[in-house]
Amino acid sequence: MSASVRVRFAPSPTGPLHMGGVRTALYNYLFAKKQNGTFILRIEDTDQTRLVGKAESYIKESLEWCGLQPDESPWKEGEYGPYRQSDRKHLYHQYAEQLIKEDKAYYAFDTTEELDAMREKAKKAKMPNWQYNSVTRNSMKNSLTLSEDEVNAKLDNNEPYTIRLKVPRNEEVRFHDEIRGWVVVNSSNIDDKVIFKGDGMPTYHLANIVDDHLMKITHVIRGEEWLPSAPLHVLLYRFLGWEDTMPTFAHLPLILKPDGNGKLSKRDGDRLGFPVFPLQWKNEETGEVSMGYREQGYFPEAFINTLAFLGWNPGTNQEIFTLSELVEAFSLDRVGKAGAKFDAKKTEWYNQQYLRTKDNKKLAELIEHQLVDSKINIDKERLYSIIELTKERATFPGDILKEAEFFFEAPSTYDEKTVSKKWKENTPELLNKVIERFGDTDYSASELEIAFKAILEDESIGFGKLGPQLRVALTGKGMGPSLFQICELLGKEETEARIKRAIEEIS
């Protein structure tokens, strides 16, 4: 493969972009960049009845947040535009007409009521899965059963119609899928799909094929849900005379719910408490707000790292990848067929790993609004030191202040488990010795640790006889970061005051 590789991500703006859609965009992006190719964003808005306001801008913002910048898009035109199907509608009718002229498609004048009546009739005859196909088309109202004069009269009178593909009966349709191998379907199992609608817009099937051909798409990497439509698309390529330039297909496995079987849905996320959308989404009609990974405190790198492993593996033990490393490692032959169960805890783990690598200044910026809301006014350098000390125990930026709350306010309660297990009759005496020994140091973490170890040696006791008690006195907690760094950041006066207060409150 060479720089001629061209792939597209083609979402429909009918609502928020699901994380499964983002994974499809990611795999397209990785494949294109690995091959020095072109990653295209095409907005497929042929179904005008289902369009949702702001969904298109949501798609754009989501990809930008994830770092998946298209090389060509509605906002970055290339030579194969426009990149919004509604702006390309003048292109499609000629291909539908070409198929009619070559007896590969036909006009269908059946009304919705007539189609519903036919389905109901079939249902009563115990044929519940009625299809408009090579057998039933001959009993319907279309240009195959009507005379040429009748058809022309209906067209001249602007009677509503659709254009359906004339799918041959009992022919083998074959194509090779990069993930699933050879796929073979008998054409008798394919119905005569509508390829052009009465509103003057093509359906997804025709628009998709025409656009992919005109945009010189070389590889179609999309979700498994499109696999049943692929044989129809292969027929369209054949009928339009484009079989020799037909793109290579790769149908990605589903992202499955964490518990049980089935595709991951928004309902699963709501039920189990995690987002399924990259950004927060508000339904303008109902006012319902859906969680987003960005607003929940996830880093885009962690989100992308999670998605990359939902269906693909690098063949090594490496789990943390930058986007450029994913580009280098990615290949379609390491994408599996089986669905991948989503693991929210693993996503949190990824976020934790990335948080630990973040610059303290950057993390300070991310929690600045929390500091303002909490009316915490603190020196920047001291804040950076506190963040460095506490970020190891945080999963999200918002956790840092929770982990560090004892730096800003002395504890008012003390961990009951630590107190009941560790606070002994001689604890006040030992803590007073800590105050005395610490007072003779320069209050640096290293000197404080030396002083503390000297107390342990003098008293012939282990760390567990005094360390937990000192921690609970200073922080109110049973666990946390380095005791001596805590003391250094609190300073001599505050450390002594907290120890004395704990002795008074607990003893």
Residues with catalytic roles: 266
Task: Output the six-digit token pair for 87.
Answer: 């702006």
- Angle between helical axes of 483-506 and 380-390 (0-180°, round to 10): 90
Query: CA 264 to CA 276: how far, in whole Å?
Result: 8
Helix, strand, coil percentages (3-state) for the chain, rounded to 5, are: 50, 10, 40
Beta bridge pairs of residue 184:
174
157 exposure class (CB count in 10 Å sphere: 0-12, 13-18, 19+): exposed
3-state secondary structure 292-356: ECCCCCCCHHHHHHHHHCCCECCCCCCCCCCHHHHHHHCCHHHECCCCEECCHHHHHHHHHHHHH
CA of residue 371 relative to chain centroid, distance: 30
Mode of pairing for the β-strands spanning 340-341 and 255-256: parallel
Contact yes or no for 406/419 (Cβ under 8 A): no
Mode of pairing for the β-strands spanning 289-290 and 281-282: antiparallel
DSSP H helices, 11-145, are: 19-34, 55-66, 93-101, 112-124
103 exposure class (CB count in 10 Å sphere: 0-12, 13-18, 19+): exposed
